[in-house]
Structure 1
């Protein structure tokens, strides 16, 4: 009877931990979105709004500091921000823009600490924004770091050496921080389909296996 009660307590703790982690993973994207939107409005309100007001005053448009006028100025600031991002995108697509961006990227990638953060964020953004195809084609299980030990891996591509053996490239992420990991080349016979979606695999990695399907 006592063992049964202990088992029920352990199961209850496990369920609580699982539910809390599930809630955390659901709230995290919302929090990040809120933080970005808050930063954007704060930047517009604290930096661009005074500039826009001075420009309007320069052209003889003096707006009193009322709630409606503050809203109008903030709205103009948001439009200006979106237009600026659009032209930055155009600038980054031409030769001069690419050269300048590459120059500053080289500076960032040579700066201690900053280079690790910048590289990780860039890799994540690049992975989720590849046009026309998925960065991770499928989720597999592969023997790593030794035979008999299975690790979650993402198939990212295929390559062939000497027109003979065809290898697939598999990215094996670390947990709970899947932005780093190992890249290995194996044959198709060396991997096992996991029947997991990419989302399910990332939930498993972020939770350290607690949310394993």
Structure 2
């Protein structure tokens, strides 16, 4: 009578396999930190290279301590920007700003460039209610396919009047992957939106990573999709 063969024991990973696994794990830990530090360091150096040539030598600290400190240009830039903002809020500053803009608006090419850059700056840095309200799910580009979008505001004016529905309409921005700064502006009835509990920042990470990075390591859309069906 032939006895059954004993089950084969699992092979232990070799030294090279363990070394590769440890190396990849360490790379995953180090890469984000290293890239973040490098990006900050490079940005500070770039600002120093742009700003310091406009700073008189007598105001630079290396003239007194003998050391070229990185970040001095950033400090000068912050002080200058705060001073300009303070002046722009005053009566004299607003008058000078209007006078300078009137000169720019009479210059054909410069006028177009300045207007576009000003609109972008006001949209990005304005301290008003211009940020997205919440992250939602919408059926796009057809029924049964869901996409993440951001609610900016309620539809108003002519757009809200022409849309043939009595429901409240919302202006929704549908970002593209992996570049969320481009996308589509949609006007959708609020009854067709599914609000997400995740923040706008978490939803943006989800879009940028093409669905690889979920908040808290879980997929928050699954239970809501099942509830919506």
Q: Where on the TM-score scale, by shorter chain, does this alignment land: which range?
A: 0.5 to 0.7
Question: 1:78 and 1:37 mapped to 2: Cα distance?
Answer: 7
Could you say which residue in structure 2 is the equivalent of 1:38?
Answer: 45
Using structure 2 for the length normalisation, give the TM-score.
0.58
CA contact (8 A) 1:92 1:98 kept: no
1:52 is aligned, of 57, 70, 90, to: 57
2:183 is aligned, of 181, 186, 190, to: 181
Could you say which residue in structure 2 is the equivalent of 1:172?
Answer: 174
Question: 1:157 and 1:90 mapped to 2: Cα distance?
Answer: 30
Compared CA separation, residues 27 and 182, structure 1 to 2 (3 A): farther
- Structure 1 consecutive aligned stretches of length 4 or more whose deviation exceeds 6 Å: none
Unmatched 5+ stretches in structure 1: 6-12, 57-62
How far is the alpha carbon of 1:156 from its aligned partner? 0.6
1:122 is aligned, of 98, 107, 120, to: 120
Aligned pairs for 1:1-213 (under 5 A) are 20=28, 24=32, 30-45=37-52, 47-49=53-55, 51-53=56-58, 68-69=65-66, 80-90=76-86, 92=88, 94-98=94-98, 100=100, 103=105, 106-108=111-113, 122=120, 126-127=123-124, 129-133=125-129, 135-160=131-156, 161-162=160-161, 164-213=166-215
Compared CA separation, residues 136 and 41, structure 1 to 2 (3 A): same
SS in 1 for 2:155: strand
CA contact (8 A) 1:21 1:207 kept: no
Unmatched 5+ stretches in structure 2: 1-10, 12-20, 216-229
How far is the alpha carbon of 1:168 from its aligned partner? 0.8
Question: 1:134 and 1:197 mapped to 2: Cα distance?
Answer: 16
Question: 1:178 and 1:162 mapped to 2: Cα distance?
Answer: 29
Compared CA separation, residues 162 and 194, structure 1 to 2 (3 A): same
How far is the alpha carbon of 1:208 from its aligned partner? 1.3
How many residue pairs match? The answer is 179
SS in 2 for 1:182: strand
SS in 1 for 2:172: strand
**Bigger relative contact order, structure 1 or 2 (CA pairs below 8 A, ≥6 apart):** 1
Higher alpha-carbon Rg: 2
Question: 1:71 and 1:23 mapped to 2: Cα distance?
Answer: 28
How far is the alpha carbon of 1:36 from its aligned partner? 2.5
How far is the alpha carbon of 1:86 from its aligned partner? 2.7
